Amino acid sequence: MGDVHLTGELVCGNEREAALVEEHLPAHIALTAAEPGCLSFEVTRIGDSMIWQVEERFRSEAAFRAHQERVTSSEWGRKTVGITRNYVVEWPSS
């Protein structure tokens, strides 16, 4: 077993989407950081763009999947569902 690492970008298509990210991101970060198995979670806006760099690391596949499940039904998940996500997930090797 090993950790799961997600990297990529959250890409807003307009100012309305960017405002949603700015409004809901602090709570999303706090809730994620408090999850069992979350090793690190960083979402950083790239300059003045409408793109955020995303870096996540979870202790196990189970912890990562639990995070994904929680996010789907969270306020963050509901409010940002239509925003483009370009992510790559590195799974632990067997």
Q: Does the pLDDT at position 25 exceed 90? A: yes
User: What are the structural domains of the chain?
Assistant: 4-90 (3.30.70.100)
Of 10, 3, 1, 8, the closest CA to residue 57 belongs to: 3
pTM equals: 0.91
Q: Does the pLDDT at position 94 exceed 80? A: no
- Which residues fall within 8 angstroms of residue 82, CB to CB, at 6 or more apart? 17
Angle between helices 61-73 and 15-33 (to 10 degrees): 130
Q: Does the pLDDT at position 54 exceed 90? A: yes
Q: What is the mean pLDDT of the chain?
A: 96
Q: Does the pLDDT at position 91 exceed 70? A: yes
- For residue 90, the one-letter residue type is E
Over residues 51-74, mean pLDDT: 97
